[in-house]
Structure 1
Amino acid sequence: MSFPDNKLTVRTPADLVTAVPYILRFRPGDGSIVLLASNRRVVFAARGDLPAPGAPASHLLDLTANLIPVVRRQQPITHIMLTGYGNADHVDPALRTIGEAFIASGMPVRALLRVTGTRVFNLDCDNPACCPLEGTPLDPTSLVAVQATAAGLVALPDRAAVAARFAPVDGPARDGIRRATRAATARLKTVRAAGDAAVDEAGAQAVRDALRQHDDGKRLTDDELAWLTLLLKRPSVRDLAADLTQPHDRHVTFWADITRRAEEALVPAPATLLALAAWRCGDGALASMAANRALQVDPAYQLADLLLQALHAGLPPSAFEQAIASARTNPSHQ
């Protein structure tokens, strides 16, 4: 079974578990369940939190009921692999319940794996020759890890490290942005006096200049960033930025930096653009966190809400254009 772009090939459960953090872009913690759907290649990956030990059985049933229709949308798939993280008492019963539900719904489950510490256990195999009772040790220097590194894939240590990519700056960096934003606000008043077309023109120029500078390896100054984030409040400027943003890591890094440094009230637009860029690059975790960041600041920010709905529904990145088109038909609160 090969992963997208033939970057990784796995042959054993240990290989699969080693590959998971590179697929998710971070290492799952205890209490996580990871689902991979495949048709010879992994076409869909999702991570969720298992209900806490002792939680009502309905919580696990609700998790399963939410997962099944999401995975069904990924057709055609040939099989599903489930991996749980934590101790056997917590993980094994949950994995078996979820696996049985998928099988009952007509979707074959190929593997039920548990990761406890640095060992992987195959719940479907009782052959000690390949699946010893003490588990199979994970090798961080395995061929899969080497292949992933050579392919430029990075696995952050946990979800907190993903969120840290766009966490707000503070201290002198925050003070500098505040000063620059005040100056940019005064500048924008002058441009607005010339009409909406002048604002759109200024916005288009700011977006193109900013992306060009980043592609040339230059970081925006505080003044440039403050000017850009003010203009991105205008839906037409934000939409242009979405159109010009490319699905590659450089633009993900760009919008993460803008989101980190933007004044709090101006975060929704760059955070949503970060979410869009990450989504199109296949980084669902970063996309979801960035969209939630936009909605923390403005719960009525429609494009972020649409994107989050698409992510929760398991829609592919190709739904990007539909999400943009839907948002543009109702410009209020964008």
Structure 2
Amino acid sequence: MSFSDNKLTVRSPADLVAAVPYLLGFRPSDGSVVVIASRDRRVVFAARSDLPALGAPASHLFDITANLVPVVRRQQPITDIMIVGYGDADHFDPALRTVGEAFTASGMTVRELLRVTGTRVFNLTCDNPACCPPQGIPFDPTASLVAVQATAAGLVALPDRAAVAARFAPVDGAARDGIRRATRAAVTRLKSLTVVGSTRVDEAGAQAVRDALRQHDAGKRLTDDEVAWLTLLLKRPSARDLAIELTQPHDQHVTFWADVTRRVEEALVPAPATLLAVAAWRCGDGALAAMAADRALQVDPAYQLADLLRQALHAGLPPSVFEQAIATGRTNPSTE
């Protein structure tokens, strides 16, 4: 996951822990491990994973480290890494040390190995009671200077992953009934246009994409009819790829595609959800990007563009690699 140019001043382990939710976009729950890679004291990458539950086979932890280590190594050059785990000492201290040893064995320097339990931070790499007391370092993430800096910079830390998913959760009730009616009308309209020829459909798709983004940029929310028409046409590779090209790396376009993904008919979710993933990834929000790609694949497991994006995210690759793949024409969904 890449980050914006916002700078957070981290002076202590407590500051680092306070910064983690803003790096990820949400607050990690107990059972999480976060690996933060830095280059000359500047954070360049962060990855989160779930540690195995208590009593799980040791192979599960080795599988996690076998995935994390190469992902982080791809972010070279890296000067050092910090590892933060969330949970109780008996369960997580041995697991965190195993993760740290795996990174050390791969040639990376582990600068901090921290455990967060409740409102205290424990430093597993320092035994100096003057700076790292055995009872841990108390911290209040809401009162931290890091939180103040992050808020001033416009960074947001949602309470958990569920809150991230809620940004594009499907609408229901009257809103769902309205979009269903609009989609039925759009299908009838598209059938009439298809009779004229595929070129006219591609032209309509390009126009719908341009009009939709123009309206949003002007502060206007799409009507149900406009959402239905746009998302029906986004099944066309030409319309979808134009939308990728025109979607900019700023929060307004993330908000736009999140709204469209919430309102679209279930069968048409893959294209707008993938576009939401692209927008979020370009903005450095890897958590939202991964969850949006998963939403697309939940509806259509064969949607290759979302699958390619998810693979790139899991591999820790930058958005530019994904965009180069699109440019080569290797990412058309199998349903097209």
Q: TM-score range by the shorter chain?
A: over 0.9
What per-residue deviation string (whole Å, max 9, x for no partner) do you get for residues 127-168 of structure 1? 222112221111221211100000000000000000111111
- Give the whole-Å Cα distance in 2 for the aligned partners of 1:301 and 1:327: 15
Report the CA distance between 1:170 and its aligned residue.
Answer: 0.6
Tell me the residue number matched to 1:223.
225
Report the CA distance between 1:193 and its aligned residue.
Answer: 1.4
- Give the whole-Å Cα distance in 1 for the aligned partners of 2:162 and 2:91: 23
- Give the whole-Å Cα distance in 2 for the aligned partners of 1:261 and 1:162: 16
Instruction: Map 1:1-334; keep pairs closer than 5 Å.
Output: 4-39=4-39, 40-139=41-140, 140-328=142-330, 330=332, 332-334=334-336
Q: Which runs of 5+ in 1 are unaligned?
A: none
Q: How many pairs were matched up?
A: 332
Percent identity between the two aligned chains? 82
Change (3 A) 1:128 1:325: same
- Give the whole-Å Cα distance in 2 for the aligned partners of 1:323 and 1:333: 18
Which has the higher relative contact order, 1 or 2, with Cα contacts under 8 A spaced 6 or more apart? 2
- Give the whole-Å Cα distance in 2 for the aligned partners of 1:327 and 1:46: 29
Amino acid at match of 2:277: A
Report the CA distance between 1:124 and its aligned residue.
Answer: 1.1
- Give the whole-Å Cα distance in 1 for the aligned partners of 2:54 and 2:327: 43
What per-residue deviation string (whole Å, max 9, x for no partner) do you get for residues 188-208 of structure 1? 111111111111111111111
- Give the whole-Å Cα distance in 1 for the aligned partners of 2:6 and 2:221: 33
Which runs of at least 4 in structure 1 moved beyond 2 Å after TM superposition?
325-334
- TM-score by length of structure 1 reads 0.97
Is contact 1:34–1:45 with CA below 8 Å preserved after alignment? yes
Q: Which runs of 5+ in 2 are unaligned?
A: none
Is contact 2:237–2:332 with CA below 8 Å preserved after alignment? no
What per-residue deviation string (whole Å, max 9, x for no partner) do you get for residues 312-334 of structure 1? 11101221312313554656335
1:166 aligns to what SS in structure 2? coil
2:5 aligns to what SS in structure 1? helix
Is contact 1:303–1:323 with CA below 8 Å preserved after alignment? no
What per-residue deviation string (whole Å, max 9, x for no partner) do you get for residues 258-294 of structure 1? 0000000000000000011111111111111111111
- Give the whole-Å Cα distance in 1 for the aligned partners of 2:328 and 2:335: 13
- Give the whole-Å Cα distance in 2 for the aligned partners of 1:330 and 1:205: 21
Amino acid at match of 1:268: P
Report the CA distance between 1:7 and its aligned residue.
Answer: 2.0
Amino acid at match of 1:296: Q
Is contact 2:21–2:157 with CA below 8 Å preserved after alignment? yes
Is contact 1:307–1:323 with CA below 8 Å preserved after alignment? no
Is contact 1:294–1:301 with CA below 8 Å preserved after alignment? yes
1:217 aligns to what SS in structure 2? coil
- TM-score by length of structure 2 reads 0.96
Report the CA distance between 1:92 and its aligned residue.
Answer: 0.7
Change (3 A) 1:43 1:271: same
Amino acid at match of 1:68: V
Is contact 2:274–2:305 with CA below 8 Å preserved after alignment? yes
Change (3 A) 1:285 1:12: same
Amino acid at match of 1:22: Y
